[in-house]
């Protein structure tokens, strides 16, 4: 039993990173229809930024903040300079993002190298509760994610901006008639989603090493989470992220490890076949639930 609990606990931290990515994608995709497959590279760059700061003597927290800010800035520049031009033809944005993947990866490889990067554990220590080892750093990752999710959730459901965002996703034209500057919201959502990806990267490298190539598996998981949870649905992304994260951990722990990635995709295919609008439903609009 405690082995099973241990597996659950282990998977939570991985699920957290997936949730952060999934929320970003579901908001961006839900509002703008932009399919940015380079979103995983945003996470990778976030992690690399943290590594850069830490390996040059900075503390982890500085590295984390740097990652969030830098990737947010990157998102802003790309939205303004690139994706904004494709708003009328989202398919073009998608194709551009594929090229962006290669550009971002090779930027990192060119200036550093293609090897794994890691940082020393920012927080060491293990709590033991009832025979289950809870690695402190992992618990922190889960905690940070929970806080971010809560902030996002309440921001969208309670604040004036969240209201305007939800309206924009439902009906861009009418929202603008109310005075909502929809283009600015699109940029804002893109920046926010990017910042979440940067945060995810910083948290990930705090746990284990990353290479310039981790983006691809992450982003597919992120889209799976967004689709399974229902596009634009933050709560759905959280639930789907938990399910997928658990799936990953349990399949590695109990199934054939070589097939780990396949299980998550099989699950996604199954869910989308049965409920095409996602588990919690909704193609239109970021909603509270």
Of 260 and 277, which has the nearer Cβ to another protein? 260
Residue 208 within binding range of another protein, rule CB under 8 A:
yes
Query: How many other CB atoms are there within 10 angstroms of residue 129's CB atom?
Result: 10
Q: Which residues of 90-128 are buried (b: 16+ CB within 10 A; e: fewer)?
A: eeebbebbeebbeebbeebeeeeeeeebbbeebeeeeee
Which range in 20-28, 58-66, 167-175, 189-197 contacts another protein by CB under 8 A?
A: 167-175
Q: Which two tokens stand for residue 92?
A: 């073009």
Give the closest residue to 218 by CA, choosing from 113, 104, 132. 104
Residue 58 within binding range of another protein, rule CB under 8 A:
no
Q: Which two tokens stand for residue 132?
A: 């289950």
Among residues 85, 143, 254, 269, which is the contact residue for another protein, using CB under 8 A? 254
Among residues 62, 116, 147, 275, which is the contact residue for another protein, using CB under 8 A? 116
Give the closest residue to 223 by CA, choosing from 87, 47, 59, 97. 97
Which range in 3-11, 58-66, 81-89, 272-280 contacts another protein by CB under 8 A?
A: 3-11
> Minimum CB separation from another protein for residue 260, in Å?
7
How far apart are the C-alpha atoms of 53 and 65, rounded to whole Å?
A: 10
Among residues 70, 219, 248, 271, which is the contact residue for another protein, using CB under 8 A? 248
- Which residues contact another protein by CB under 8 A? 3, 6-7, 10-11, 14, 113-116, 118, 121, 126, 133, 135, 160, 163-164, 166-167, 170-171, 173-182, 207-211, 248-254, 257-258, 260, 284-285, 287
């Amino acid at each position: 039993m405690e082995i099973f609990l241990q597996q659950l606990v282990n998977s939570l931290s991985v699920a957290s990173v997936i949730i952060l990515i999934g929320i970003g994608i579901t908001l961006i995709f839900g509002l703008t229809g932009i399919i940015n497959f380079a979103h995983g590279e945003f996470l990778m760059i976030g992690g690399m930024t943290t590594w850069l700061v830490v390996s040059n003597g900075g503390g982890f927290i500085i590295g984390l903040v740097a990652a969030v800010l830098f990737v947010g800035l990157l998102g802003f520049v790309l939205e303004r300079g690139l994706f904004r031009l494709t708003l009328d033809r989202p398919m073009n944005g998608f194709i551009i993002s594929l090229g962006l993947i290669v550009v971002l990866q090779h930027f990192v490889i060119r200036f550093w190298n293609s090897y794994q990067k890691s940082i020393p554990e920012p927080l060491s220590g293990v709590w033991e509760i009832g025979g289950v080892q809870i690695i402190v750093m992992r618990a922190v990752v889960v905690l940070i994610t929970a806080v971010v999710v809560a902030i996002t959730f309440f921001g969208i459901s309670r604040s004036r901006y969240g209201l305007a965002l939800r309206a924009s996703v439902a009906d861009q034209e009418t929202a603008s008639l109310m005075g909502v500057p929809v283009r600015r919201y699109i940029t804002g959502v893109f920046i926010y989603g990017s910042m979440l990806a940067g945060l995810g990267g910083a948290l990930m490298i705090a746990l284990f090493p990353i290479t310039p190539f981790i983006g691809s598996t992450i982003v597919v998981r992120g889209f799976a989470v967004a689709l399974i949870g229902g596009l634009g649905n933050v709560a759905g992304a959280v639930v789907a992220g938990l399910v997928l994260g658990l799936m990953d951990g349990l399949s590695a722990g109990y199934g054939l490890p070589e097939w780990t990635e396949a299980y998550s995709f099989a699950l996604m295919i199954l869910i989308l076949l049965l409920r095409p609008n996602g588990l919690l439903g909704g193609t239109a609009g970021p909603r509270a639930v």
